Amino acid sequence: MTIYHHVPRAFALLLSTSIAALAAPVAAQQAPAEDDARAAARDDYHNRADGEIVVTASGLTQLDTLAGTSVMQGIELQRSLAGQIGDVLAKEPGVTATSFAPGASRPVLRGFSGERVKVLVDGIGAIDVSNTSADHAVSIDPLTAERIEVLRGPAVMLYGSQAIGGAVNIIDKRIPRRLLADEPYHFDATAAADTAYDLREAGASADVALGGGFVAHVDGTWRQTNDVRIPGHVASDALRADLLADAEEEALEGHADEAEELREAAEVRGRLPDSATKTWSANAGLAFFRDGSNLGASVGIYDTTYGVPSRPGAGHLHHGEEDGAEHDAEGEDHDHAHEHGAVPISIGLRQYRADLRGTLDLGDGFFRALNTRAGYSDYTHTEFEGDEIGTVFDVEGIESRVELVQARRGTWQGQVGGQYYFRDFRATGSEAYIPPNTTDQWALFALQEVHAGPVQLEFAGRYERTHVAAGTVGFDRSFNAGSGAVSLAHETADGLRFGINVSRVARAPSAEELLADGAHIATQAYEIGNRDLSLEKAWGFEAFVRGRIGPGTISVAAYRNHFSGYIYQDAVDAEIDGLPVLQTVQRAARYSGIEGEISYPFIDSGPFRLIADVRGDYIRASLKDGTPLPRIPPLSLLGALEAQTERFDVRGEVQWTSAQERLAPGETRTDGFVFVNASLAWKPVRGNDSVTVLLQGENLFDVEGRRHVSFTKDFVPLAGRNVKLSVRTSF
């Protein structure tokens, strides 16, 4: 299939004009060396001043945003690296992961997941199907990340009104970001191995100065894991009890073989079957820099194969008895017989991707820069049932954006822009529960800031028009959504900022929410969309305090969201093909929560620092009538103590997650757990961070833990005790 003829002429003209404008500096005279140095300083993330936060996604020059922003880079990123971006960020305040399987885990922000969380690669979407179902992997290799940003507040509207929970922006170097003014090349490499996953991974990247303002880039990664080691049984206590009870019934009725199979399923322990993964990626890019402008492009491939663990005893429920009570409002407990239960399920995913990024320096006028970003993706995702192909998802998409960045005028700065997104989705096979469809969306947005002494005002607006069409079922609808946000803050003389955010957002329903009609492997349910869905609208309110308290830092936010027309899947009292039915509906709902992080150096005496960190979050979400919503994270806290010297960093963590006892209809309780983690970082080159050797011990006491937000929590526990050794070098 091809998408080119779908792109509106006006947008194609806009994009081509932008590219031509960005290419204009190629004909210009070579910039002085000092301009090259300034460009390098703007794009080098390795040398930021301590405590300085630079949010690259917004395109503005401010060092902070008015809403909470988490930034992960350097040793913290090395310490948190995992195969999926959700697991990388799971310890951040207000963040957890879907943890469907080791090979598929997406971020959950403030209890929101799927369509309500935007995952970006350098400012544009991943262009995959990870937002449509929990069993779909995010097509981004964290090994390629240079830094990761978790964005909230008005600036998120630059990237999509659907990002009600926030956005995750992964910054990589596939398109070079700076000239190599002082070196002919720059090389980064990493390698790691561990015990719980039998992990073996390696990655390397190189930037090479070609002369004449050109820089070339290549990178590659490889990662392989086996079935993960777990502390105890695969099945949770509640699921084991059900399996053993079913075994007794089978035995009483004379079905000895079925009874024995159920007993064996209940006693599986030590390793999680069908959880192995194998991933590789490769990218190549080229960029040109001159006169404060740049233009670059890249091509790449991401390939992963991963197992999808099956519910123990699937296909063996007692004579097809109805277990509808075991299914919550979104079918997360998977207690129904399922035709795939007898064979292992795996997913093979491959994405070809091309990207463009450019900046044109506009001089000293009203607009100081024109930024262009575009990406194209050809994505194929195959679900295997044993060795046979079950379902194939083909997605071809493009996303582009153009931004005009305003020059600062006294206390005022900002940017305006436009965005276009197109997706052609096709699924074929036994579980093609969504008909072929296209999504066509364009948007206009603006973000403005006023800094008047200690008072800071930020406001944003976005208008989106979304068109969803599925010709095979005669569906064709358009949605117009307008969103806005305002943030007001006051900063004290000591650098402590107090503020509030107010937002009104509207989200168009996705094609999956509108058109689903069939059995779905991820929920092990029969899903029915709702073609009459309207816009999902919400008012959001947030109060925050962030900044410095003496030598320490603090970032705390309390928030509340009021939804009219909250879209979710409701379990209905019916079955189709032996599966429970999940019907997409809209109801009024409420989300509220608090999250925060405090870091304080108790000792800061030259070469030695002793720092204490405390992080935590709590979320409460209900329908308007008080009924709890499903898969809401429980209270969690993390406390850490870290000693830093010139060549060694030692860190210890206690990570506590409470039990979740506030349950949606049909949900089961999830026990709490405590993980103890420790790490030792060694920098063997004195006075130089170019090499870091990291030894980690995770879940040192081999405690069983399960994430309540996971569809598969009752049969996919978190990893047991894990010892990991990693090396990272840069020169």
The DSSP annotation for 566-594 comes to: EEEEEEEEEEETTEEEEEEEEEEEEEEEE
Residue 330: which pLDDT band, with cuts at 50, 70 and 90? very low
Q: The dihedral of CA 169, 171, 177, 181: what is its sign?
A: positive
Q: Please give the helix or strand (H or E) that residue 75 lies within, else none.
A: helix 74-80
- Region of 74 (left: φ > 0; alpha: ψ -120 to 50; beta: rest) is left
Q: Are 610 and 641 in contact (CB under 8 A)?
A: yes
In whole angstroms, what is the distance from residue 300 CA to residue 281 CA?
7
pLDDT in the model for residue 12: 47
- Alpha carbons 189 and 205: distance in angstroms, whole number: 6
- How many residues does this entry show for the chain? 731
Candidates 683, 730, 725, 599; CA nearest to 173 is: 730
Cβ–Cβ < 8 Å for 432, 467: no
- Mapped onto helix, strand or coil, the DSSP state of residue 127 is coil
Structure token pair of residue 212:
């004449």
pLDDT, residue 313, reads 80
Q: What is the pTM of this model?
A: 0.89
Residue predicted with more confidence, 374 or 391: 374
Q: Is 595 helix (H, G, I), strand (E, B) or coil?
A: strand
Kindly state the average pLDDT of the residues 588-610: 95
Has residue 248 been placed in a domain? no
Which candidate, 105, 155, 190, 153, places its Cα nearest to that of 546? 153
Contact between 108 and 157 (Cβ < 8 Å) = no
**Model pLDDT, residue 168:** 94
Instruction: Choose among 14, 55, 36, 21: nearest CA to 362.
Output: 21
The reported pLDDT for the residue numbered 698 is 98
pLDDT category of residue 132 using cuts at 50, 70 and 90: confident
Residue 67 confidence (pLDDT)? 55
**Residue at 263 is within a domain:** no
- What 3-state class would DSSP assign to 665? coil
Q: Report, as an integer, the average pLDDT of 337-360.
A: 83
* In the block, residue with structure tokens 């044993």: 386
Give 65's pLDDT tier (boundaries 50, 70, 90): low
Averaged pLDDT, 400-411: 95
- 396 lies in which domain range? 4-234+272-730
Assigned domain for 583 exists: yes
End-to-end CA distance of the chain: 43
Return the higher-pLDDT residue of 324 and 669.
669
Bridge partners (DSSP) of residue 601 are: 611
Q: Three-class SS of residue 175?
A: coil
| Least confident segment among 10-24, 65-79, 391-405, 696-710 | 10-24
Most confident of 430-434, 473-477, 683-687: 473-477
CATH of the domain at 193: 2.40.170.20
Please give the backbone phi and psi of residue 79, each rounded to the nearest 5 degrees, phi first: -70, -30
Task: Out of 4-8, 452-456, 578-582, pick the least confident.
Answer: 4-8
Q: Give phi and psi for 254, each to the nearest 5.
A: 85, 10
The residue type found at 624 is: K
Domain membership flag for residue 654: yes
Token duo for residue 617: 């979050």
59 pLDDT band, cuts 50/70/90, is: very low
Where do we find the tokens 């925060």?
A: 596
| Residue at 267 is within a domain | no
Is the pLDDT reported for residue 14 higher than 80?
A: no
Q: Write out the H or E segment, with its range, that includes residue 128.
A: none
Q: Average pLDDT in the 161-165 region?
A: 82
Number of structural domains the chain divides into:
1
Condensed to tens digits (0 to 9), the pLDDT of residues 17-39 reads 444 444 444 443 333 333 433 33
Mean of all residue pLDDT scores within the chain = 87
Tally of CB atoms within 10 A around 360: 22
CA 396 – CA 438 distance, rounded (Å) = 10
**Residue 347 in this model has a pLDDT that exceeds 90:** yes
Q: Cα 466 vs. chain centroid, distance in angstroms?
A: 23
Whether residue 670 is contained in a domain is answered as yes
Please give the radius of gyration of the chain, using alpha carbons only, rounded to the nearest integer.
25
Do 727 and 691 meet the contact criterion of CB atoms below 8 Å apart? yes
Strand partners, 356: 297, 374
Residue 70: pLDDT band with limits 50, 70, 90 = confident
490 confidence band (pLDDT: 50, 70, 90)? very high
The residue ranges of DSSP E strands in 54-135, in sequence order, are: 70-73, 95-97, 107-109, 117-121, 124-125
Looking at residue 115, what DSSP letter applies?
G
Tell the residue number behind the tokens 């980064």, with chain if given: 188
Reference 179, options 294, 91, 64, 263; nearest CA is 294
- The mean pLDDT value for 669-677 works out to 98
Residue 587's DSSP bridge partners are 566
- In angstroms, rounded to a whole number, what is the distance separating the alpha carbons of residues 712 and 631? 11
Calculate the alpha carbon distances from 644 to 79, 417, 605, 608, 647 in Å: 15, 43, 11, 6, 8
- Extended strands (E) in 62-106: 70-73, 95-97
Residue 257 forms part of a structural domain: no
Residues 106-121: tens digit of each pLDDT: 999 999 998 899 999 9
CB 713 within 8 A of CB 631: no
Tokens of 1: 């299939």
| The two structure tokens encoding residue 653 | 């963590």
Residues 540/560, Cβ–Cβ less than 8 Å = yes
- The token pair at 183 is 């070196």
**Exposed, middle or buried by CB within 10 Å (0-12, 13-18, 19+), for 365?**
exposed
**Whole-number Å distance between alpha carbons of 552 and 176:** 34
**Could you give the angle at which helices 256-266 and 237-252 cross, rounded to 10 degrees?**
170
CA–CA gap between residue 23 and residue 42 (Å, rounded): 20
Measure the CA–CA gap between 189 and 456, rounded to whole angstroms: 41
Which is it for the CA torsion 234, 237, 242, 246, positive or negative? positive
What confidence tier does 342 reach under pLDDT thresholds 50, 70, 90? low
Instruction: Pick the range with the lowest mean pLDDT from 48-57, 156-165, 420-429, 547-556.
Output: 48-57
Residue 504 in any domain: the answer is yes
Only one residue has tokens 């170097």, namely 173
Distance separating alpha carbons of residues 81 and 99, to the nearest angstrom: 15
User: How distant, in Å, are the alpha carbons of 303, 312, 515 from that of 342?
Assistant: 27, 10, 29
User: Which residues are registered as beta bridge partners of 386?
Assistant: none
HSE-up of residue 252 (Cα within 13 Å, Cβ side): 7
